[in-house]
């Protein structure tokens, strides 16, 4: 439960609170195990290695993947996206992304343009934050290697047409990389039914695990094309100074974040029992209630999809005559409501939806432990602030 006097509505940054089994698992590992993953044949090391293996299996079950060996553990979604982009890009390649994508994609691509001379196209979105698949298709070139598209915007909550993007990519011989930072654990994903080649996600957001955890899913065969840019100890093939090519060792050099992955295994177990579809239904109702409440307040401007269009649990708004950071500060200091204000590391997204010059928006984001009472308290707080603007 969230501590009394604190209303946490920044779940798009990281979910809080976590399920109780997560806290128990991390504490138990730290107090009673403490061994490294895959680095010993003694009981405590074997035990924690087994938990991490089970974590991989639960992730595959939750996301409908071909098998657990298709998941590489990283330290966050940004780490996963960098692994994919730097591991695939070569001089002369063309990569397509969108204006709704996060700086965790835009900044690596900027660096790859500078270092390797790759070409990039950033497809614009409409005022609701939606990217038109036809615009992606028009951006294709003979040297297009990759389409990288965010699954849902961290600014507007807009869900992007990744199935269409995957078909476009595959028709042209390109790959599709999906940034699932705002969807993994929040909405049902079945990788068996989606034309996705690589899927990057964090463990600490919708998957409800600890910070410092993430993953990159690789469709079978992608490991033959994805270069490992980090080499080191894996606990296997120690007789050679060449990085192993088997999964997941090819991409998992150095010690794992064992406490984080132990916690992630516990959260994935909780999610599988609870059901992502059930969580999505709950958070969708809360998101709709929040947006409808804000829409009735004079001076409040909402951004993102219309009320009847599916979205993830993100509502971005602004109050006329007030800067978003000022609104966020008042919400925190006066009402105990924690939100994220500003540009959210996605400046092009704000240009698309018309909020860049404000600058940015006040973003409210719900999670599985958000209550109706907290939503109503947020609406009432915004109503009081708007009345003084």
Residue 335 in this model has a pLDDT that exceeds 70: yes
> Six-digit token pair at 163?
């199935």
Whether the CB-CB separation of 301 and 370 falls below 8 Å is answered with no
pLDDT tens-place string over residues 34-67: 999 999 899 999 999 999 999 999 999 999 998 9
Name, in order, each residue with C-beta under 8 angstroms of 161's C-beta and a sequence gap of 6 or more: 130, 131, 133
Domains plus CATH for the chain?
A: 7-18+276-388 (3.90.1150.10), 20-274 (3.40.640.10)
Helix, strand and coil content of the chain, in percent to the nearest 5, comes to 40, 15, 45
pLDDT tens-place string over residues 259-290: 999 999 999 999 999 999 999 999 999 999 99
19 preceded by a cis bond (ω within 30 of 0): no
Whether the CB-CB separation of 279 and 362 falls below 8 Å is answered with no
Whether the CB-CB separation of 350 and 264 falls below 8 Å is answered with no
For residues 107 and 82, what is the distance between their CA atoms, to the nearest angstrom?
Answer: 10
Whether the CB-CB separation of 218 and 72 falls below 8 Å is answered with yes
Whether the CB-CB separation of 315 and 287 falls below 8 Å is answered with yes
pTM value surpassing 0.85: yes
């Amino acid at each position: 439960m969230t501590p009394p006097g604190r209303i946490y509505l920044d779940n798009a940054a990281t979910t809080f609170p976590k399920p109780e089994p997560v806290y128990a698992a991390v504490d138990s590992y730290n107090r009673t195990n403490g061994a490294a993953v895959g680095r010993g044949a003694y009981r405590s090391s074997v035990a924690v290695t087994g938990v991490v293996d089970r974590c991989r299996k639960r992730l595959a079950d939750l996301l409908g993947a071909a098998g657990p060996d298709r998941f590489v553990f990283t330290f966050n979604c940004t780490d996963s996206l960098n692994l994919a982009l730097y591991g695939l890009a070569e001089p002369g390649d063309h990569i397509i992304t969108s204006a709704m994508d996060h700086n965790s994609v835009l900044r690596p691509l900027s660096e790859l343009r500078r270092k390797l001379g790759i070409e990039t196209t950033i497809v614009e979105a409409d005022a609701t934050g939606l990217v038109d698949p036809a615009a992606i298709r028009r951006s294709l070139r003979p040297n297009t290697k990759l389409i990288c598209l965010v699954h849902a915007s961290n600014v507007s909550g807009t869900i992007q047409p990744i199935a269409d993007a995957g078909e476009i990519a595959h028709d042209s011989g390109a790959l599709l990389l999906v940034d699932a930072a705002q969807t993994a654990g929040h909405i049902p994903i079945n990788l068996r039914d989606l034309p996705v080649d690589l899927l990057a996600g964090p463990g600490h957001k919708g998957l409800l695990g600890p910070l410092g955890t993430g993953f990159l899913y690789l469709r079978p065969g992608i490991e033959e094309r994805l270069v490992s840019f980090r080499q080191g100890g894996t606990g296997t093939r120690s007789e050679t100074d060449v990085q192993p090519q088997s999964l997941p060792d090819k991409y998992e050099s150095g010690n794992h974040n064992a406490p984080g992955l132990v916690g992630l295994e516990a959260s994935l177990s909780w999610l599988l029992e609870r059901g992502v579809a059930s969580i999505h239904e709950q958070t969708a109702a809360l998101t709709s209630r929040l947006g409808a409440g804000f829409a009735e307040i004079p001076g409040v401007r909402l951004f993102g999809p219309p009320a009847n269009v599916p979205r993830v649990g993100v509502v971005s708004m602004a109050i006329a005559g007030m800067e978003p950071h000022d609104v966020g500060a008042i919400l925190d200091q006066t009402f105990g409501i924690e939100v994220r204000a500003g540009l959210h590391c996605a400046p092009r997204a704000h240009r698309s939806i018309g909020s860049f010059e404000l600058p940015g928006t006040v973003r409210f984001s719900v999670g599985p432990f958000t209550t109706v009472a907290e939503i109503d308290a947020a609406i009432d707080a915004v109503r009081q602030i708007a009345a003084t603007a």
